[in-house]
Amino acid sequence: MTTDASAAHVAASQFYTGLVAELYDPLVSYRATADEYAGFLDHSGPPALELGCGSGAPLLDLVARGYDVEGLDASADMLALCRARAAARGLRVVLHEQEMQSMALPRRYRAIFLAGASFTLLASDADAHAALARVHEHLLPGGAALIPLTLADPAAPPFGGAREARAPDGASLRVTVLAAHVDAARGATRTRLRYERIARDGRCETLVREIATRHWPQPVFRRMLEDAGFARITAVDPRGGRASADAALFAFLAQRA
């Protein structure tokens, strides 16, 4: 038996649901580690908030190390996976189901960060500006934000072709890029993906979805941070040094004055 559902572009909160959420952990191409963010949290101080925390990497490892860090994500299914993983490890973690461009939380933080380039899932400039304004509002004076970003790469489809994994029950798991369109001039990418779970008895569950991402050159994003009220803005590379002007992968450090 095969089920095949196709959909046009959807928001990230709807993209990471159902089969997509279930297959995220076994098929993810990059998993952030606690070591990559511990230094930032040590320097900024508690409390902290991870945006786009998903199923809990590196949030849960940071909580396990004793960091006061909460998580926020727009996908209820991804947060359910995070809660299940936290319960399995005996961890207590505060999670918020909200979109970052409209988040309204009761707490203010010394550090707000994303573990990976999930900010690019905000596929419009309006959402990106709104998200930066909300991040600035939720920081304590002197607090810092860390936002990793990527540039659109016209030479390589996002997510890199197809990936496969084996589930504990023996099912074959696969995600395949069906089509990818990169508009380098606009900094926009649209990717159509097929997710599959093939049971050992041959039954196949298939889901096709399309997602859009947005990418901003360093000078453009720096101005966006300035417009949101940030100061002491620095673009850094993955090793912590200053990012080169043409870097395809970089992160912005910015402070609320």
Mean pLDDT of 59-81: 98
Q: Give the DSSP per-residue string, 36-86.
A: HHHHHHHHH-S-EEEET-TTTTTHHHHHHTT--EEEEES-HHHHHHHHHHH
pLDDT tens, position by position, 24-64 = 999 998 889 999 999 999 999 999 999 999 999 999 999 99
pLDDT tens, position by position, 191-240 = 999 999 999 999 999 999 999 999 999 999 999 999 999 999 999 998 88
Give pTM, 2 decimals.
0.93
Cα three-residue angle 141-143-146, rounded to 5 degrees: 150
Domain ranges of the chain: 2-26+153-214, 27-151+216-256
Compare 11 and 221 and report the one with higher pLDDT. 221
pLDDT at 4 over 80: no
Q: Are 125 and 103 in contact (CB under 8 A)?
A: no
Closest CA to 233 of 136, 161, 137: 136
In percent, the amount of the chain with pLDDT more than 90 equals 83
Q: What is the pLDDT of residue 87?
A: 98
User: Which CB contacts under 8 angstroms, 24+ apart, belong to 78-83?
Assistant: 78/16, 78/21, 78/24, 78/53, 78/54, 79/53, 81/21, 81/22, 81/24, 81/25, 81/54, 81/55, 81/56, 82/53, 82/54, 82/55, 82/56
pLDDT at 158 over 70: no
Mean pLDDT of 121-147: 97
Helix (H, G, I), strand (E, B) or coil at 88: helix
Helix (H, G, I), strand (E, B) or coil at 217: coil
> Hey, how many other C-beta atoms are within 10 angstroms of the C-beta on 70?
19
Closest CA to 139 of 113, 111, 114: 111
Question: What CATH number should be reported for the domain whose range is 27-151+216-256?
Answer: 3.40.50.150
Mean pLDDT of 170-199: 93
Q: How far is CA 222 from CA 227, 233, 249, in A?
A: 9, 7, 15
pLDDT at 159 over 60: no
Work out whether strand 204-214 and strand 2-9 pair parallel, antiparallel, or are unpaired.
parallel
Mean pLDDT of 107-129: 96
The Cα–Cα gap between 7 and 16 comes to: 13
pLDDT at 90 over 80: yes
In percent, the amount of the chain with pLDDT more than 70 equals 93
Burial class (CB in 10 A: 0-12, 13-18, 19+), 90: exposed
Tokens of 70: 């909460």
Residues 6+ apart with CB under 8 A from 134: 100, 101, 102, 103, 104
